[in-house]
Amino acid sequence: MSCAAKGVGPETVVDYCAGTLDRHAAREFEQHAAGCPDCEHALARQQQLWTLLDSWDDVPLSADFNRRLYQAIEREEGVSPVRRYARLAAARLWPLSWRPLVPLGAIAATLAIALIIETPGPRLSAPPPDAQVKSEKLDVDQVESALDDIDLLQKLSDASPSAM
Amino acid sequence: MPWLLLFCVIAGFSTDLALAGEKRPPKPPKPPKAERPIEKLEKMTPAQRQKALERVPPERRQNIERRLDHLDKLSPEEKARVARFRELSPEKQQAVRQAVNQMTNLPPDRQRSVRSELRDMRGLPEPERKARMNSAEFRGRFSPHERKLIEKLSDVVPD
């Protein structure tokens, strides 16, 4: 816009189209634009822009669109070009993702642990009787106390020495 | 989170499968009571006893072995008395010990009377024993002290 008229500039055209000019200024600009091809052209283009903006319909976006957009930008900026191309090539060559392998591995590990824990091994078998005798520590005091009791009970017997 | 849930479900399921698929040996029945050392020794062969007592000082070991041999030679009635004694609670065992010692302090003829009474009680059911001890004839034959001794000692009278 190259209008040389005093007090008329691009902002006048924008303000007129936006309806922010006062009535007097708006009438003066209309009178000027009617005789000024340059301003008339600028006004026509500005009105066309406003018409386009008015006809614009918002595209619905997901709630986390901005977050994912910025994350994607950050990832792309942080990944080296070599790795980026390698990742793209791997994605094309290997259609399966590695993610399904994680639960499969966990299931296999759980099965293995369950079998190891519940399988009775030789460690669970009872030791031979001789080993039991050898390993157990005999409470000799308790044995002698029990023998004392038996001796005592024998005094109740008719054949005990005091019964004679 | 869904993966975690799926993992838990499958883990539990696979453990059940592992347990169900395995032929587990049946659990052995629990013994009614823990076996005492003397009971273990009674069941051992002489060689096993020797092995079990090998760390006991020689003199003490010989004494135990001699008494164990004597234990093997007890009459069935004496063994039954010992068995009954072992079934008693620690408190009742102590009461029997005291009663036996007190009985040995009685005059010999009274000791014989007490033993005779205990012998007559053999094979009597518990209610009949109590009825006998409550009878006037029993009260006339024994002093209160002797009656208490007999009552305590009746716990080790064989059925």
Report angle CA B84, B118, B76 to the nearest 5 degrees: 45
Binned at pLDDT 50, 70 and 90, residue A64 comes out as confident
For residue range B27-76, what is the model confidence (pLDDT) as tens digits?
A: 666 556 677 888 888 888 888 888 888 888 999 999 998 998 888 888 88
| pLDDT the model gives residue A131 | 43
Residue contact A139–B104, C-beta within 8 A = no
Best interface-test mutation with B: which of A107, A142, A150, A164 has the largest number of B CBs within 10 A?
A150
pLDDT tops 70 at residue A59: yes
For residue range A2-42, what is the model confidence (pLDDT) as tens digits?
A: 677 777 888 888 888 888 888 888 888 888 888 888 888 88
| pLDDT the model gives residue B99 | 92
Q: What is the mean pLDDT of residues B2-7?
A: 55
Q: What is the mean pLDDT of residues A101-130?
A: 66
| pLDDT the model gives residue B156 | 87
Average pLDDT, whole number, for chain A?
75
Residue contact B153–A156, C-beta within 8 A = yes
**How far apart are the C-alpha atoms of A71 and A59, rounded to whole Å?**
21
Answer yes or no: are the C-beta atoms of B83 and B116 closer than 8 Å: no
Q: Which residues from chain A sit within 8 angstroms of residue B119, using beta carbons? A: 158
Dihedral angle sign, alpha carbons of residues A89, A95, A99, A103: negative
Residue contact B64–A154, C-beta within 8 A = no
Answer yes or no: are the C-beta atoms of B79 and A159 closer than 8 Å: no
The more confident residue out of A93 and B157 is B157
State the smallest CA–CA distance between residue B12 and chain A in angstroms: 9
Answer yes or no: are the C-beta atoms of B92 and B155 closer than 8 Å: yes
pLDDT tops 60 at residue A123: no
Answer yes or no: are the C-beta atoms of A66 and A31 closer than 8 Å: no
For residue range B76-124, what is the model confidence (pLDDT) as tens digits?
A: 888 888 988 988 999 999 999 999 999 999 999 999 999 999 988 888 8
**How far apart are the C-alpha atoms of B132 and B126, rounded to whole Å?**
10
pLDDT tops 50 at residue A135: no
Answer yes or no: are the C-beta atoms of B64 and B56 closer than 8 Å: yes
Residue contact B81–A111, C-beta within 8 A = no
Dihedral angle sign, alpha carbons of residues A106, A110, A113, A119: negative
**How far apart are the C-alpha atoms of B93 and A145, rounded to whole Å?**
12
Asked whether this complex has an ipTM greater than 0.90, the answer is no
User: Which tokens hold the place of B19?
Assistant: 């347990």
For residue range B146-157, what is the model confidence (pLDDT) as tens digits?
A: 999 999 999 888
